[in-house]
Chains A and B, each alone.
Chain A
């Protein structure tokens, strides 16, 4: 059976690319290794509860009618209305460091005011930095030379604490690189978090994913679940067929892969030399989900999301131990503007973690280590926040090992390779990268990536 396009991975980028192609009558097949769609941002059930894997919040919130924001673009390109996504905006979020706090909302003026109050001598630089960011075309698909985000911040800001505080949320929500960040990535993240903002869909990721999958199927797209791509057969620098784990072979004129750049090249047979040349990403996380017997607000948690650091300087790198509990993200899904309160109180706590150390642990020690790290995380949190441990009725945690298992990303690297392939091109002529390693990150980013790559390489036919 020959297709126009085969897409590897039914995560957000794969689904979005699939809709675009099916919309214009391409014969398209989506191939997903897991029995569920969603990839990094899927959902799972434990003891009759459904949890989102990845979702703290959707970044890039923009109101109805804004057509040139990333959200506006994906809505129109996928032919959805704003209300179809059922987005409920955040209340207030916060960046909390020792002795200083900056609150922010979906109105950028609010953050500007906070900077004016907390860092009056930095305000002028902050405004100039945001002007520079606003005018930057971060979604151009051209590969440009590397610019350090920290260096650019230092051009405008002289207080290292403010630099760290602004860097922290952007790193946690989208930085594949240790310590520093590429400037265009920084711009994407700054706009998506500070200039646009957070929301959550009513019904969680489960709802959004099915909305996409239903549209894809209604347009005639085919979806293969529970059958991964074992290898990509390459002849004369072109993919000729995809060999599936279940034994079938699939032929397609073009292939879009969302499984990661190196992960894709390493499955090519024969593999191009680039498969071993580029450096894989390393940043991974541990996350615990606490179900509470009451609204978090009653316990003193009234923020939507808090990015915190309990030490004077913020570090973003693979920690030398299993987890680094001295910084993290605390997300409270209840504190979004849902039409009805959520059935239960939930807090999610995320820390930087070391994949190799987790991966080395034998089963029994792994389970004990999860418990121990969670307890350390809570103890550190209690130095900065009210203690909520007496209200916890259910806990679940995942580690870099879990992320590796479910995404196939080398090192469980959530945000993939540090060096992105912005134009999606690979050494194999009819094989293109979309999603995480193309470089538009997060839920909206990955969706936009799938759309852009489908447009650029298939519909417009830039070969």
Chain B
């Protein structure tokens, strides 16, 4: 997956868990929580969706990597690549 594809996949998840939010205007370097009013229940959903869609497990100690969009991409892209290779 390219960087853009990973970004797209994350946007997909965000629009599923927060259908009323405007995700077009997300600033990759600001905290998602501040831009979209996400709480801990939402982060659980992001993690659950990653498991469901990509079979990726994010342990609780790594949640901090998901704070911003660029953090998500940096953390997830290598994991997604690994899955692709495995498949």
Contact = CB atoms under 8 A, between A and B. Distances in A.
B17 interface: yes
Interface string B10-54: 000000111110000000000000000101011011001001100
Given A24-B52, A25-B52, A455 B41 contact: yes
Given A76-B42, A77-B45, A455-B44, A68 B37 contact: yes
A192 B78 CA distance: 45
A49 interface: no
A128 interface: no
B20 A73 contact: no
Contacts of B41: 73, 76-77, 451, 455
A246 interface: no
Interface in A427-463: 451, 455, 459-460
B41 to A, nearest CB: 6
Interface in A35-79: 64-65, 67-68, 73, 76-77, 79
Contacts of A451: 41
Interface in A57-108: 64-65, 67-68, 73, 76-77, 79, 81-82
Contacts of B44: 455, 459-460
- The size bracket of the interface on B is 10 to 19
Nearest to A66: B37
Contacts of B42: 76
A395 to B, nearest CB: 43
B48 A76 contact: no
B37 A67 contact: yes
B19 A81 contact: yes
Which of B17, B20, B48 has the most CB atoms of chain A within a 10 A radius of its CB? B20
B35 to A, nearest CB: 12
Contact of B39 (A23, A64, A68, A460): A68
A459 B40 CA distance: 13
B39 A79 contact: no
Nearest to A82: B20
A416 B19 CA distance: 35
Given A67-B37, A455-B44, A459-B44, A76 B17 contact: yes
A79 B41 CA distance: 13
Nearest to B49: A24
A64 B18 CA distance: 12
Top 7 nearest A-B pairs (CB, nearest first) are A24-B48, A67-B37, A455-B44, A77-B41, A24-B52, A81-B19, A25-B52
18 contacts: A24-B51, A65-B20, A67-B39, A68-B37, A68-B39, A73-B41, A76-B17, A76-B18, A76-B42, A77-B41, A77-B45, A79-B16, A79-B17, A81-B19, A81-B20, A82-B20, A451-B41, A459-B48
Interface of A: 23-25, 64-65, 67-68, 73, 76-77, 79, 81-82, 451, 455, 459-460
Interface of B: 16-20, 37, 39, 41-42, 44-45, 48, 51-52
